[in-house]
Amino acid sequence: MIDITLPDGSVRPYPAGTNGMDIAKSISNSLAKKVLAIKIDDNVCELSRPINGNAHISLLTWDNPEGKEVYWHSSAHLLAEAVQELYPHAKFTIGPPIENGFYYDIDFGGQVPSGDDLGKIEALMQKLAQQKNPFVRSEVSKADALAYYQERDNPYKVELIEALNDGEITFYQQGKFTDLCRGPHLPDTGYIKAVKLLNLAGAYWRGSEKNPQLTRIYGITFPQTADLDNYLQMLEEAKRRDHRKIGKDLEIFTFDDEIGPGLPLWLPNGGIIIEQLEAFAKKTEEEAGYYRVKTPHIAKESLYLRSGHLPYYADSMFPPMILDGEKYYLKAMNCPHHHKIFGAQSHSYRDLPIRLAEYGTCYRYEQSGELMGLMRVRSMQMNDAHIYCTEDQFEAEFRAVNDLYVKYFKRFGIDKYVMRFSKHTPEKLGQKYIDSPELWQKTEDMVRRVLINSNIPFIEVEDEAAFYDPKIDVQLWSAIGREFTIATNQVDFAQAERFDLWYTDQNGEKKRPLIIHRAPLGTHERYIGFLLEHYAGNLPLWLAPKQVAILPISDKYMDYAEQLLSQLRTHHVRASIDTRSEKIGRKIRDAEMKKVPYMLIVGEKEAAEGKISPRRHGKGDLGTTTVSEFMQQFNEELGE
């Protein structure tokens, strides 16, 4: 007998050689119907994999991210099986699961399918799924694996196999399709119920433009048709809310080839949004005791060598400039600049904590294939700050930062969020991470304690820390459920030593401060991109670039419109007049399309009585009122 430890800590005895499905059936028939794979200790495996020793296990269902990965990986194999039947000469490369669904990169030779062909591939996938063919795993020698794919003239699989050793190679077969794969997979294809192939794209083998171009087929599958229907509805809504489309329609930002990819140009409307966000953040930070600083956009190579960012982040930094025999880099992060500011003066324990904040512009050389609207850019304005504190002050300061995040979430109507606590991996100390095991353990314990005491939802993730500290990445979900990584909160135990930062304690002795690096609004670029999608362009009144559009029924009432504009501007309302010689219906439609919160209709009656007829975007006519009554309502909404 062997002991199996379940996720709740309970231990059950089972015969040696038992498998995941046996365990699921022993717990409940309903679980056995839902389980997709098993996690044995730290390894995700098929349900059929025998367990021959004591182990900790988790039974993975659709509700587990790892369960979805197995489901979508198996679906990629099902896609390949359908393609093989329809396109016998196709050569297969890789087909991994992704965040939502899966893809397979395929060399179709001269017979490349079009978007119209996806329907017949999809239909065949459904047919093959209903055959309930099992996914069968087999271990294969390197020689046999090479012979198999050489016979099929598939240089891609041959290249992959050549990098492997005997004992590392497994094949999976379902129906008539066999693939080189580590697995794991579903018990059989019958688990795949609802299929949708989403689109075709081009992709270079192994991401290099020097290699052959392949056809990538994206798809997604679900265990229930209703889940697929809901997902497709969400996709349609996501297209409508795409910040790139909204940003163009509302004239917020643009890109220009002569400026360069990933370098956004903020139009006047975008500039207003930035100013409002920044004013809000500055006011909030001032109330929380932050000092504002400014730093240059470039610095010598020696600064980033000292901080350790070089060579760790060299691939993400723009190439250096040679000036007067020195290498200068565009600033990719504000941290070392702020450390220099702290170190420029002497500090006593009485001065701490010191909180230095800046909207600093940084530049990162993101790969061209990774650029995506405002979400992935090469020039970014960061809502950055560094807090220098004693160890005794750390918990209160770190908690205050988390409370600041929650305050922002409430302000923007964000209901779903989680703190992603990214930790180091001990095996990678000295390579990916600074080699200070005691400090890593200590700071990770400190961060975990604050998160628990703050009662903030968080998850722990291995091997995703920064090279010099554990960090928290803040995951937000928009109004339609799309997930975004927006902000960060880090605790730094290395930089004070590197920059010789210190303060004098009560005994006059020099001590190193702890450093908290936080950016609750992340960058203007990504946060505004998120807000545009979250609000579908209907920004709250305080953030809307144009708050009021004055719409004269004809040119005869232009003088009255000008009077209204002057009145509104004395109240600091962002307003403008539609001076076009268009019919009022067209002016209203255009203002609605531009998502202007308020429209003031002015005609003969309004001009004669000194009144206005306001409309609220998305709600319609609000009746006739005076300017003072309108301003009262306007300010009440601003206050909300």
Closest CA to 36 of 187, 233, 261, 181: 187
Lowest average pLDDT, out of 222-236, 476-490, 566-580, 621-635, goes to 476-490
Grade residue 422 by pLDDT with cuts at 50, 70 and 90.
Answer: confident
Beta bridge partners of 91: 107
Output the pLDDT for position 594.
95
* Domain 2-61 class, CATH top level: alpha beta
Angle made by CA atoms 206, 212, 218, in degrees to the nearest 5: 65
Output the pLDDT for position 494.
80
pLDDT over 70 percentage in the chain = 97
> Is the pLDDT assigned to residue 394 strictly greater than 70?
yes
DSSP letter (8 states) at residue 7: T
> Is the pLDDT assigned to residue 430 strictly greater than 70?
no
Q: Identify the residue with better confidence: 440 or 399.
A: 399
pLDDT average, residue stretch 498-526? 93
Lowest average pLDDT, out of 178-187, 281-290, 473-482, goes to 473-482
Q: Where are the domains of the chain?
A: 2-61, 66-239, 272-294+335-360+370-534, 548-639
Output the pLDDT for position 238.
87
Average per-residue pLDDT in the chain?
Answer: 92
Task: Give the CATH fold of the 548-639 domain.
Answer: Rossmann fold (3.40.50)
Output the pLDDT for position 406.
86
pLDDT average, residue stretch 264-272? 97
pLDDT average, residue stretch 306-323? 90
> Is the pLDDT assigned to residue 452 strictly greater than 90?
no
Q: Identify the residue with better confidence: 438 or 50.
A: 50
d(CA 36, CA 20): 9
Q: Tokens 């080699």 — which residue?
A: 435
Superfamily covering domain 66-239: Threonyl-trna Synthetase; Chain A, domain 2 (3.30.980.10)
Helix/strand/coil for 123? helix
For 527, how many CA atoms within 13 A lie in the half-sphere containing its CB? 25
Output the pLDDT for position 600.
96
Output the pLDDT for position 464.
65
Output the pLDDT for position 390.
94
Q: How many secondary structure helices (H) and strands (E) does the chain include? A: 20, 33
**Per-residue pLDDT tens for 113-123?**
988 899 999 99
Q: Identify the residue with better confidence: 467 or 36.
A: 36
Output the pLDDT for position 468.
60
Output the pLDDT for position 552.
96
Output the pLDDT for position 434.
63
Output the pLDDT for position 369.
76
CA 59 to the chain's CA centroid: 28
> Is the pLDDT assigned to residue 68 strictly greater than 80?
yes
Residue 460 CB neighbours (<10 A): 15
pLDDT average, residue stretch 314-329? 93
Whether 423 contacts 444, CB under 8 Å: yes
> Is the pLDDT assigned to residue 478 strictly greater than 90?
no
Contacts of 435 (CB under 8 A, 6+ apart): 429
pLDDT average, residue stretch 557-577? 94
d(CA 242, CA 231): 16
Output the pLDDT for position 429.
66
What is the SS3 string spanning 394-428? HHHHHHHHHHHHHHHHHHCCCCCEEEEEECCCHHH
**Per-residue pLDDT tens for 163-199?**
999 999 999 999 999 999 999 999 999 999 999 999 9
**Per-residue pLDDT tens for 365-382?**
988 778 899 999 999 999
Output the pLDDT for position 433.
62
Output the pLDDT for position 442.
77
CATH of domain 272-294+335-360+370-534: 3.30.930.10
Grade residue 482 by pLDDT with cuts at 50, 70 and 90.
Answer: confident
> Is the pLDDT assigned to residue 413 strictly greater than 90?
no
Grade residue 467 by pLDDT with cuts at 50, 70 and 90.
Answer: low
> Is the pLDDT assigned to residue 403 strictly greater than 90?
no
CA 472 to the chain's CA centroid: 13
Grade residue 542 by pLDDT with cuts at 50, 70 and 90.
Answer: very high
Q: Could you give the residue ranges of the DSSP H alpha helices within 87-172?
A: 118-129, 142-151, 155-162
